[in-house]
């Protein structure tokens, strides 16, 4: 099967996710600087989540660039990823509304962890479908960034009850690790052409 519908659908879902997150902002009732400061938790949670959705969009785009064809398993694995990504607006609103309280932060971390696992599953299904000699296989290598991310998410989720600030710092750290677009796929494409 052609991959075009999968890409178009995924891009549409990711655009809606970002739109939903921004719609969570309500205009303050007054016109003071303090009224904007009261929104700082919501704004910070939005920034972090926007970066995460952007990271997934960017890496998803690069990964699908290596795909020649898709099958039903890839379609379902992609939907699985989109499901977990679609929960980011809920968790974002919750941590912003409740000033990064422990349980909302734990749920946020669990959702980030499940996104990472779902991305790994999609990547694995694509690799299985395209073989060990595929461009994607050459590009990801041992995938240390992916493995480190899952490990850090686990630490952050476990730390939220007593060390919410540490969990927040870890979520930011993982985003920073992935903020620079993954050049491995671009490098392999350049070398193969």
> Considering only CA atoms, which of 179, 112, 99 is closest in space to residue 152?
112
Q: How far is 163 from 96, CA to CA, in rounded Å?
A: 17
CA of residue 168 relative to chain centroid, distance: 15
pLDDT in tens, 173-191: 999 999 876 666 667 666 6
Output the CA–CA distances (angstroms, integers) from residue 105 to 78, 161, 169, in the order listed.
25, 9, 11
In the chain, where are the structural domains located? 4-192
Share above pLDDT 90 across residues of the chain, in percent, rounded to a whole number: 68
pLDDT in tens, 93-103: 999 999 999 99
Output the CA–CA distances (angstroms, integers) from residue 119 to 25, 138, 149, 164, in the order listed.
28, 17, 12, 25
pLDDT in tens, 21-64: 999 888 888 899 898 888 899 999 999 999 999 999 999 998 99
């Amino acid at each position: 099967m052609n991959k075009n519908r999968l890409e178009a659908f995924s891009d549409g879902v990711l655009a809606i996710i970002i739109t939903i997150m921004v719609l969570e902002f309500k205009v303050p009732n007054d016109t003071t600087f303090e009224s904007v400061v009261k929104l700082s938790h919501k704004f910070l949670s939005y920034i972090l989540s926007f970066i995460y959705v952007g990271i997934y969009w960017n890496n998803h785009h690069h990964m699908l660039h290596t795909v020649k064809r898709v099958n039903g398993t890839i379609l379902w694995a992609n939907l699985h990823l989109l499901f977990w990504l679609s929960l980011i607006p809920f968790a974002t609103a919750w941590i912003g509304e409740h000033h990064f309280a422990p349980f909302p932060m734990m749920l946020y971390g669990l959702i980030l962890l499940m996104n990472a696992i779902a991305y790994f599953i999609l990547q694995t299904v694509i690799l299985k479908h395209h073989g060990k000699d595929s461009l994607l296989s050459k590009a990801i290598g041992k995938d240390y960034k992916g493995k480190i991310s899952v490990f850090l998410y686990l630490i952050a989720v476990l730390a939220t009850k007593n060390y919410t600030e540490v969990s927040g710092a870890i979520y930011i750290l993982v985003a920073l690790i992935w903020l620079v677009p993954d050049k491995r796929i671009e490098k392999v494409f350049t070398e193969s052409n």
